[in-house]
Chains A and B, each alone.
Chain A
Amino acid sequence: MKNYIPGNPMKQHWLVPFLFLLFCTVIVHAQSIQVKGKVTDETGGGMPGATVKVKGKAAATATDNNGNFAIQAAATDILVINILGYTTQEVPVNGQVVINVQLKPGTNDLSEVVVVGYGTQLKKDLTGSVAIVDAKEIKKTSASDIGQLLQGRTPGIAVTNDGQPGASPTIRIRGLASFNNQQPLYVVDGIMLANTPRDFSPNDIESMQVLKDGTAASIYGAQAANGVIIITTKQGKKNTALSIEYNTYYGVDNVWQKIPVADRMGYQMLNNESQFNGGQTPAPANDPSSSKYIGNVDTDWQKEGLKTGQRMNHNLNFSGGNDNSTYNVSLDYFKQGGTFVGNGPDYTRYTGRVNTTQSKGIFKFGQSLSYTHSKENSLTFRGDVLTGGRPPLINDLIIAIPTQLVYDPSMPNGYGGTQSDRERAISLNVPAVNSLFTNYTEVDRIFGVVWAEAQLLNTNGHSIKYKINAGYDRTVARDFAFQPTFDLGFFFKQTVNRLDDNSRIYTNGLVDNTLTYDKKFGKNAINFVAGMSYNKNSALSRFGHAEQLDPNYLVLGNGTNKTVDGNLIPYSFFGLFGRLNYSYDDKYLFTASIRRDGSSRFPPGNKYGNFPGVSAGWRISKEEFIHLPKWINELKLRGGYGQLGNANIGDFRFLSLLNPNIVYNFNGTKATGGLQTNVVDPNLKWETKTTSNIGVDATFLDGMFDFTGEYYMNKTTNALIGEEIAATVGSNDRFPTTNAASIKNTGIELNLGYHNNKGAFTYNITANVSTVKNTLLKLTGTETSRIVGGFINTVGHEIGRHYGRVVEGIFQNTDEIANHAFQNARTSPGDLKFKDLSGPNGVPDGIIDDLDRTDLGSSLPKVYYGLNFTAAYKGFDFTLFLSGAGGNLINGALYRSLMHTTDYINYHEDALNRWTPENPGNEYPRLAADDPNQNGIDSDRKGWLQKGDYLRINTISLGYTIPKLNVNWIKSARVYATAQNVYTFQYYKGYNPDFAQTRAFEPGFDPGSFPTPRTLMLGLQVRF
């Protein structure tokens, strides 16, 4: 398969990179000596299809099926060898006639092909903001969800998650830009997903790109406002014999963070003191003079409730191909055992995938088909079973009182509980709940994509390709929850057992048709894509409930008081799109795209939206009249503007609906009623995000450094927000959704790579840092600020700033109280002294109340950063990956509840330093039951707002590739050891400073996130 370019090759210089890749072109420049050699990959396998060029000349070739090449070059020439996914190498000929080159994996090559949505572009031609994720590096981390792998990898993408197996992360691209769903759109093999990508194996990823701005993402129109993550799965290589790879690792997970809480003595002493100060008597269990005093139980709940978890992964991959077809088949097993005592949380996943391609003449087609079965034992429980609005179970575990037994044979279930006339504590035995209750979600997911392509025209420089891409994604989930009868103390009892057996079925069908036209004339190159996309989805939910079952026969049919429920949510999207890429002389780059999307989610008249994007780039380093210093190899300036939509608003929300299920009874006979229960905004439409972006891409010192810097500004308008209406309207929904708010985010993103080698020692450093500044431009129009909990959202300032009182110290004596603004009649020495900031007339009024609240700082991290260091020496390879963020303050529910004064729950060790007459300090107030002075109210008292800054050592990994094995059926083998989530430098006294910020108006509130465990893994990669 050789083609020859007619004409003067020097003049066609700009065409070269294109045509090499499209046609595997070889240009023979008849001159000099012939150099032969073999290009191999990191494992020593021959690499077909690598380009070998003579630097500064037109001569170029491609390696054959075995990786061999031959090229004419002068003795003083330099050979440049590159292929997608590997670092380009330059090798001086130095008169050698045989040059063997081993390529290192890497992604910083400008001729790299980047998937940009309905097409590809060369990296050097990119004008929009596209982050290319280093798929090889992210796979060094073990995670149950693909999205988790992105944390710290590229600037501008904030990934937050807790350590619960199977939990989906929260991903926020370039700032908090919506009060609604901020999850990015995932596109897998060209198919826009309607669901999370949790059920895909990270091992199947070939490449991953993130479209961050409107320029790049507007081709995905109304679904792209939160950014687009494009995932391409692995394909086999043509003309390659069957290659079998086996990857496995085994690891252990441990919660390395210990929350320091009081022991029995400390708890009883503090609780008695608190009760005494509040004018109460001690609980009998804490009163040494009581017959019910507990002096022999001292439970360490963290020790009892947490355990070592195990995780493992087995992946078997078969790939290969001949002239016309390729295949890649993989089997994957992943299990994350979890660190909680009892039933989960844990996550197990089985995945199978078959990807194939075929080509003949002008036709190509292919398919990728994957099946996943997963089971997640979740840690959720029903609020109507464990009454009282319990916190997340992890918090319940830590706040449990030390005088409660974990196991108590005298109790019906064998687990300890508290009594109202003994401990008085509402303290949940978490290991008991997690052992007695069964909660799991089983998922079966089939995801298939079929595509076909025809080269309709390929003459005189015109090329037209037609492609159809059709996908079907069906996810069937079963949510099973069984609560037996239990008696876990006076507050946690249930005399009937209950079973919920629910199912959810999500289907997503999608068809894309695209036409791609390419034409080159003179120095001009045009690429035009036009297409249509139709997408139909549905979500079907069924709920079944039964009670009083025989616990050995847990099917709904065996129970009493059976109820069912269900709903069906269909929705559809239809989009038309087009994109024009134009370049002149390889210097001036221009891209314009538009998508017109229609969605069933919006009312007639608002169904359609247009989403344009334009961008331009200027490769300054190619400009002849600008003479850049020699050490600058590549310099590109680019910028763009675009609009995106966010249609994640739920379905049918513009319709006034009948609720036909309003129950009542007449003297015991059930009756049903129906009428309208909610008012709605009938004119809902898209949220629109307008983005502007300018950036610089550069490489220096022959590729030793590469650099990308960007400045962005995003503005979301018509953002959906609940607009509070008077309760006198009578609507159950007192915050009907309407398009009113406006949010701006600006920031800078920098990415710097450094690649060097000292002999056999090669190393790479990639560092990224990004900033984000958030401004709330508008709420509902009539509101200037919205206070939600301890947070204020003020127009003109950022979203969710901490809000509360200012602490001036602690009252040391009654005179100080008398001379201070009035707080409470029962305020006593040891209580917090709040600053009198204002009153009804805007001036201090001598009374401390809600008018004395003020802005206490930011909830949103200002800077995110990541650093990846890799090194190789002979057979050894090493990785160190760090990431962090900072500039925010956290309101942590766990710490605040442990520093409480009201309930009978355990205390943080900091409470031991509370104010007492003998220990008059100014940091921690006294403990007093009922908290008459409201010491627990939102304020800036010590610990109430904690710095969110952190630096995490995410990964340390050391691998060794065994050089030559004596068995010839093993091509290569690598063993490695990885430590993940090794340590986090943090101020935060909860578990995760990077907890998922999921509350729209209270982003800085951590209700209690699951500890991310430290994982130690041993792995093996073998190729046959």
Chain B
Amino acid sequence: MKKIFCYVLLGLLCAGCQKELDLQNPNAKTIDLYWKTADDAQLGVNAIYNSLIQDGTYMRMFPALTDVRGDDFTGDSPWGDLVQVGKFSIPSSSGPVQWIWATHYQMVWRANQVIINVPAIAMDEDLKKRIIGQARFLRGLAFFNLANTYKAVPVPIELPTDKSKYNTPTATDDVLWNQIIEDFKAAKAALPATYAGLSGPDAGQVGRATKGAATGMLGKAYLYKKRWPEAAAEFNELINGDQKGKYSLMPNFRDNFKETVENNAESLFEVQFGQPDAVGGTIMNYGGEPNANWKQVSSTGRTYAMDGYGYSDFLPTRWIYNEFKAEKTIAGKSDPRLLATIASFEPDDNSTTVYGNPWPFAQTMIYPRKYTHDGLNWPGNDDQENSGINYRVMRYADVLLMYAEALNETGATADAYSYIQQVRTRAGLPDLSTTKPGMNQTQMREQIAHERALEFSVESMRINDIIRWGWLYDAAKLTELRAHDPDFASWRPGKEYLPIPLSDLNVNPNLQRNSAN
């Protein structure tokens, strides 16, 4: 009896369901089946670019928190973080500070996946080279932004295959900047000047990293490290050398901030945003897990735009306004860059409206205009969060002014004039060699600083220039900065950077605080 019972039982139990428990995930491939084909490599590199259009990068917070630290921009937001960053008093627990950090490292991990996995794929070697080159460029850009924003940061270049690799230590300044320079060098060597005329899935695509972009960024990295001759060599290559003629200034300054004239002759690299009716999407691309329905919009415009048209989280300082007003064009008008950068009531310059409507504010008020849709025939004001204006990471004007700076620093001050003047001429300003002939190196430095302030105001650059010129540690210059922007009154040594996010300090014992913590 008992035997029968046992047999019946065993029979039942052994009709097991082992196989039924090994279910395939029908939604997505596991990653061990990936990185096998040329398609995988191409899709992989495309995915890195997506890190550029999130809140922590160029979609909003990276420009916002970089711009607000400059002496030309100040926080005017109910969102305390945005104001505190401008006042150099942001705590390390700040969300936006963490987003910039996290999204840039997201870009690094994505680039690392391509750089490490693609070499083993059997595929067209030229395409492979371009793919890895783009990954090197984007990784270099991520490290470059991190280095300028946080000063001392980890440099993960391996894949986080298990927990033991999660806690990358803070790198030395040499390791960090060597990595940036090596990445841009590798990118420069691997990338084509243009994707037009190539064969492959990327043929003819505009917006991918190019040799010119890598050259410009390499030069900029040298410049930031004060390696003047090397910097000058790279810029010279773009202006007078092998890559001469590839880039030029757009006749109209504002073209650099319009949705209609994107990827133009002046642009070395720009982040591609697009409105939903052009590139689709229903879900805001602030961050999180990417989804096929993500939009690809910038919300910098709405963040910067004035009351009634945006959140008006920031205002230009009166100093930068006055700086624009200091010099008239040859035609006796205000510098056209003023009204491309700042929305101001200027009847003399035929500017009395905002967004096509009569100026609604006090006539003395000024608001940001660069990267907003003010004056761009924007159909309405409701969906400015859906801005499609590409973010210009590097313009040829920057190459010209950086070349002038590198020349001046190497002692060739007189040679700097012509490159500065190209930028001034586009703005209609008189010839510098006539108005200020024979400047010495120090005077030229001042002149370049002035030119950069006007040309690149509200382009995520000003605070980096201030830092690298050492103005914060020069008592006279610091006094000037405080006069430009009262935010600098609460600056304390070391606080010019964003603090290393507290959440990472809490979990990574190998991570060091920085001077802003």
Contacts and interface: CB of A to CB of B under 8 A. Distances in A.
Interface in A514-552: 515, 517, 530-532, 534, 536, 545, 547
Given A493-B382, A574-B16, A675 B29 contact: no
Contact of A565 (B1, B284, B287, B292): B292
A497 to B, nearest CB: 13
B31 to A, nearest CB: 4
A565 B291 contact: yes
Given A561-B277, A726-B168, A660 B102 contact: no
Contacts of A657: 25, 27-31
Contacts of A655: 25, 30
Interface string A554-598: 000000010101011111101010000000000000000000001
Contacts of B501: 727
Given A565-B293, A726-B166, A675 B106 contact: no
B289 interface: yes
A664 to B, nearest CB: 4
Interface in A485-510: 490, 493-495, 498
Given A663-B290, A673-B48, 6 more contacts: A384-B284, A534-B20, A658-B29, A728-B153, A730-B160, A734-B102
Contacts of A966: none
Contacts of B358: none
B278 A732 contact: no
A515 B108 contact: no
Given A664-B53, A665-B207, A675 B503 contact: no
A481 B31 CA distance: 35
B469 interface: no
Nearest to A567: B27
Nearest to B294: A663
A670 B279 contact: yes
B12 A730 contact: no
Contact of A421 (B291, B308, B385): B308
A484 to B, nearest CB: 14
Interface in B263-311: 263, 272, 274, 276-285, 287-294, 296, 307-308
A873 B282 CA distance: 65
Interface stretch (B109-117, B213-221, B455-463): B109-117
Interface in B18-53: 18, 20-23, 25-34, 40, 43-50, 52-53
10 contacts: A530-B12, A545-B293, A574-B16, A652-B27, A658-B31, A659-B47, A666-B208, A677-B290, A727-B504, A728-B153
Interface residues on A, range: 35 or more
A515 B21 contact: no
A570 B80 CA distance: 45
Contacts of B163: 725
B28 A659 contact: yes
A49 B112 CA distance: 76
Contacts of B279: 663, 665, 668-670
A656 B32 contact: yes
A34 interface: no
A903 B8 CA distance: 72
Nearest to A681: B163
Contacts of A571: 23
A247 interface: no
Interface string A741-765: 0000000000000000000000000
A576 B21 CA distance: 14
B507 interface: yes
Q: Does more than half of chain A's interface fall in helix, strand or loop, or is it mixed?
A: strand
A709 B141 CA distance: 67
A729 B280 contact: no
A581 to B, nearest CB: 16
B21 A599 contact: yes
Interface of A: 384, 387, 420-421, 462, 464, 490, 493-495, 498, 513, 515, 517, 530-532, 534, 536, 545, 547, 561, 563, 565, 567-572, 574, 576, 598-600, 604, 607, 651-652, 655-679, 724-734, 850, 902-903, 930
Contact of A675 (B9, B12, B43, B206): B43
B511 interface: yes
B167 interface: yes
Nearest to A543: B293
Contacts of A599: 21
A291 to B, nearest CB: 15
A958 to B, nearest CB: 54
Interface string B98-128: 1001100111111011100000000000000
A728 B168 contact: yes
B31 A676 contact: yes
A802 B433 CA distance: 68
B368 interface: no
B268 to A, nearest CB: 15
B27 A568 contact: yes
Nearest to A569: B27
B86 interface: no
B437 interface: no
Contacts of A530: 9, 12-13
A786 to B, nearest CB: 10
A668 B278 contact: yes
B94 to A, nearest CB: 13
B17 interface: yes
Contact of A673 (B13, B44, B102): B44
A665 B8 contact: no
A673 B43 contact: yes
A667 B48 contact: no
B26 A568 contact: yes
Interface string B141-163: 00000000000011010001001
Contact of A666 (B113, B205, B283): B205
B13 A598 contact: no
A677 B107 CA distance: 10
B282 A675 contact: no
A728 B105 contact: yes
B204 to A, nearest CB: 9
B26 A570 contact: yes
Contacts of A464: 5
A667 B290 contact: no
B213 to A, nearest CB: 14
Counting chain B CB atoms within 10 Å of each CB, the highest count among A420, A670, A930 belongs to: A670
B78 A902 contact: yes
B350 interface: no
Counting chain B CB atoms within 10 Å of each CB, the highest count among A655, A664, A668, A903 belongs to: A664
A-B pairs, top 6 by smallest CB distance, nearest first, are A730-B109, A673-B47, A673-B46, A727-B102, A661-B292, A574-B17
Nearest to B52: A664
A534 B21 CA distance: 10
Given A420-B308, A574-B20, A675-B43, A656 B105 contact: no
A664 B293 contact: no
Nearest to B289: A732
B327 interface: no
Nearest to A533: B17
A498 B288 CA distance: 23
Nearest to A727: B102
B22 A604 contact: yes
A600 B166 CA distance: 28
A659 B44 CA distance: 10
A636 B412 CA distance: 101
Nearest to B201: A671
A240 to B, nearest CB: 36
B410 interface: no
Given A567-B27, A598-B18, A726-B504, A732 B50 contact: no
A667 B289 contact: no
Contacts of B33: 658
Nearest to B291: A661
B506 interface: yes
B262 interface: yes
Contact of A729 (B13, B49, B109, B272): B109
A66 B251 CA distance: 103
B40 A674 contact: yes
